[in-house]
């Protein structure tokens, strides 16, 4: 295929690519080969832990043959996708970002990968992640840290734990990716890389066959170029699964509503009052926040301030989320953390080990507060479709060995996990150094469709002139 036909192919959204494949402007093999070529030319971005090129080309050829036979498996038929290393695919490595699992090959395929393949999508490979998904900066010194593509000079945080997924989409190495969000791990890399990151309500997508961190909090979600792409991929993956009990607790209407976008009224969105924010923003972060608010006001979309009930402290919920996460993570990985010979990054070892010092009584009390908070949030949000608040306190900063420079991310992102809420990170501007920053929308558990409607309404206003990173220094 002539090179000029590939112009900006890698920055088209997934639905555009699907349409081009469907209309035979492109074949799945041409699209897949283009992305594999880009991945191969940008090893320094370290977005992928495993590139499954042979399988991807075989899947692409199969997608093309099916289309020749008049069969399209789904709305993203033939479109490439990347998946986080913790999402298992039989016969491929599943290290969970840890050298303690080096050489471990999956003996099973996750429900999510089964569905992606059944929809005719092409899996490019597994993306890098924070070790055992325990960290939001995206740093992983034992296996290699994905590079934030917006700065080729300074190694800045790519966001974690789904770091490679965020980098892959931002750098045009994949049109869409699947990550996991236990304490912000889809929204953090989306926010710091300038893409959309959607954490569905707990139970929306089956986690069967994925490496766990916290049974209560783990959620799978997409990183994408647009809200519409994120919604569509979730629509394909969502549904009850007997192998994941959390999916059986959501009413069927929560799944089916994803298929029916609705135009929302301007007053459907409220904004969390600044005094209720769980972390302050830096001066640059606050400036971009106010600029985004001004754009919303100019568009007639200025949200009214929302004050949570006194018992609903976002800062306390962020801390409670850490209690539940650490306690449950220790049940899975505590023995590794307590083994000094295990090749864990010491920062992650310390985080896991801390879970062993949380009492069962404190853990159960946090779970009881979670149920009360979920009910209080749903009640207080009655008549409001989505709540707007900052997604990050600052843009991506240079990585620090102690991994403390990005703690504000967790304080802002974790409340949504504790609430089991739907949440989505939306690009909202750039700082003076050209680094992206984001806001997020939240909605009570199960109200994903309405929140996504609101996100689609706000998306073009928050960032009227989208940008892509200068990738010339990365060999692209």
pLDDT of 68-114, one tens digit each?
Answer: 999 999 999 999 999 999 999 999 999 999 999 999 999 999 999 99
Strands 304-306 and 269-272: parallel
Q: Classify residue 143 as left (phi > 0), alpha (psi -120 to 50) or beta.
A: alpha
Predicted local confidence at residue 265, as pLDDT: 84
For residue 272, what are its two tokens? 């969390």
Give bridge partners of residue 443 from the DSSP assignment: 422
Active site residues: 84, 161, 185
The answer to whether the beta carbons of residues 254 and 213 sit under 8 Å apart is no
The answer to whether the beta carbons of residues 28 and 63 sit under 8 Å apart is yes
Strands 422-430 and 386-390: unpaired
Report, as ranges of residue numbers, the positions in the chain whose pLDDT lies below 50.
1-7
Strands 220-224 and 422-430: unpaired
φ/ψ of residue 271, rounded to 5: -120, 135
Predicted local confidence at residue 3, as pLDDT: 32
The answer to whether the beta carbons of residues 433 and 395 sit under 8 Å apart is yes
The answer to whether the beta carbons of residues 210 and 218 sit under 8 Å apart is yes
φ/ψ of residue 129, rounded to 5: -155, 160
For residue 355, what are its two tokens? 């879970």
Give bridge partners of residue 19 from the DSSP assignment: none
Q: Classify residue 422 as left (phi > 0), alpha (psi -120 to 50) or beta.
A: beta
Q: Omega of the bond prior to 161 within 30 degrees of 0, cis? A: yes
Predicted local confidence at residue 4, as pLDDT: 31
Predicted local confidence at residue 267, as pLDDT: 87
pTM: 0.97
C-alpha distances in angstroms, 109 versus 101, 113, 125, 169, 248? 17, 6, 14, 23, 20
The answer to whether the beta carbons of residues 129 and 47 sit under 8 Å apart is no
Predicted local confidence at residue 50, as pLDDT: 98
For residue 198, what are its two tokens? 């959607």
| Cβ neighbourhood burial of 286 (10 Å; 0-12, 13-18, 19+) | middle
Predicted local confidence at residue 33, as pLDDT: 98
Helix (H) or strand (E) run with residue 429 in it: strand 422-430
Predicted local confidence at residue 266, as pLDDT: 81
In 3D, which of 391, 412, 351 has the Cα closest to residue 214? Answer: 351
Give helix 360-380 / helix 314-338 axis angle, nearest 10°: 150
């Amino acid at each position: 295929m002539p090179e000029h036909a590939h112009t900006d192919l890698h920055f088209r959204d997934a639905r555009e690519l699907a349409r081009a494949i469907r209309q035979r402007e492109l074949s799945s093999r041409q699209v897949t080969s283009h992305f594999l070529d880009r991945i191969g030319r940008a090893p320094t971005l370290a977005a992928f832990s495993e590139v499954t090129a042979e399988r991807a080309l075989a899947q692409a050829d199969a997608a093309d043959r099916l289309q020749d036979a008049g069969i399209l498996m789904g709305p993203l038929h033939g479109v490439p996708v990347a998946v986080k290393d913790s999402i298992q695919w039989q016969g491929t490595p599943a290290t969970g970002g840890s050298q303690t699992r080096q050489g471990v090959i999956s003996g099973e395929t996750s429900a999510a990968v089964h569905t992606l393949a059944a929809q005719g999508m092409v899996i490019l490979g597994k993306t890098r992640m924070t070790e055992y998904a325990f960290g939001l900066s995206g740093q992983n010194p034992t296996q290699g840290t994905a590079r934030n593509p917006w700065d080729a000079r300074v190694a800045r945080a790519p966001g974690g734990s789904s770091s490679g997924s965020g980098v892959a989409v931002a750098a045009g190495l994949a049109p869409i990716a699947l990550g996991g969000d236990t304490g912000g791990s889809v929204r953090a890399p989306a926010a710091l890389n300038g893409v959309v990151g959607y954490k569905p309500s707990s139970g929306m997508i089956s986690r069967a066959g994925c490496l766990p961190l916290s049974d209560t909090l783990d959620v799978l979600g997409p990183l994408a170029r647009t809200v519409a792409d994120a919604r569509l991929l979730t629509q394909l993956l969502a549904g009850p699964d007997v192998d994941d009990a959390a999916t059986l607790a959501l009413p069927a209407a929560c799944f089916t509503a994803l298929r029916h976008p609705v135009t929302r009224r301007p007053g459907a969105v409220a904004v969390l009052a600044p005094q209720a924010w769980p972390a302050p923003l830096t001066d640059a972060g606050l400036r971009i926040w106010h600029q985004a608010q001004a754009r919303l006001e100019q568009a007639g979309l200025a949200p009214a301030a929302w004050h949570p009930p006194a018992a609903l402290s976002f800062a306390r919920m962020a801390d409670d989320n850490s209690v539940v996460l650490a306690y449950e993570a220790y049940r899975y990985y505590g023995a590794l953390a307590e083994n000094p010979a295990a090749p864990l990054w010491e920062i992650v070892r310390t985080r896991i080990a801390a879970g062993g010092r949380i009492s069962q009584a404190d853990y159960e009390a946090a779970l009881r507060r979670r149920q009360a908070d979920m009910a209080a949030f749903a009640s207080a949000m009655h008549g409001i479709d989505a709540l707007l608040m900052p997604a990050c306190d600052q843009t991506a900063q240079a990585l620090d060995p102690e991994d403390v420079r990005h703690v504000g991310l967790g304080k802002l992102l974790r409340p949504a996990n504790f609430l089991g809420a739907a949440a989505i990170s939306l690009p909202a501007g750039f700082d003076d150094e050209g680094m992206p920053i984001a806001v997020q929308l939240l909605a009570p558990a199960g109200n994903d469709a309405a929140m996504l409607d609101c996100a689609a309404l706000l998306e073009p206003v928050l960032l009227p002139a989208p940008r892509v990173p200068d990738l010339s220094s990365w060999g692209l």
